[in-house]
Amino acid sequence: MVSKEEVLKVLKNVYDPEIPVNVVDLGLIYEVEVDEKNNVSIKMTLTAPGCPLGVFLTKMVEDAVKEGIPEVNDVKVELVWDPPWTPDRMSKEAKQLLGLE
């Protein structure tokens, strides 16, 4: 069975095209669920609702999971806005990299 940790590990290879930080450390991944059939459901957000790369980034997340974990059958990525993203969601490493800490 595929684990949430495996999915998050793969997603650490997906970088926001505008910020040199992966989507996990940036705090864009809100929820990962894996069912008994290895279908993955991801809730994620963007740094801003008007981000023109939203469709592109969600497709990158979907493709990374499908390609990075062969046991996965299906991936659904839902873009959500609640709670709104803030820099507080970033990992300590991401904040250091961007000079915020």
Whether 98 is covered by a domain: the verdict is no
Whether 97 is covered by a domain: the verdict is no
Domain that holds residue 14: 4-86
Q: How many CB atoms lie within 10 A of CB 2?
A: 19
Q: What pLDDT digit, counting tens, does each position of 9-26 carry?
A: 999 999 988 888 999 999
Report CA dihedral (82, 79, 60, 20) to the nearest 10 degrees: -20
Helix 4-11 vs helix 54-68: angle between axes, to the nearest 10 degrees? 120
Q: Which of 95, 77, 79, 73 is nearest to 19 (CA)?
A: 95
- How high is the pLDDT of residue 4? 97
- How high is the pLDDT of residue 75? 98
Contact 8, 29 (CB under 8 A): yes
pLDDT-derived band of residue 89, with 50, 70 and 90 as boundaries? very high
Helix intervals (H) in 15-91: 54-68
Number of structural domains (the chain) is: 1
Whether 53 is covered by a domain: the verdict is yes
Mean pLDDT along residues 70-98? 95
Whether 13 is covered by a domain: the verdict is yes
Whether 75 is covered by a domain: the verdict is yes
Q: What pLDDT digit, counting tens, does each position of 32-76 carry?
A: 999 999 999 999 999 988 888 888 999 999 999 999 999 999 999
Q: What are the helix and strand counts (H, E) for the chain? A: 3, 3
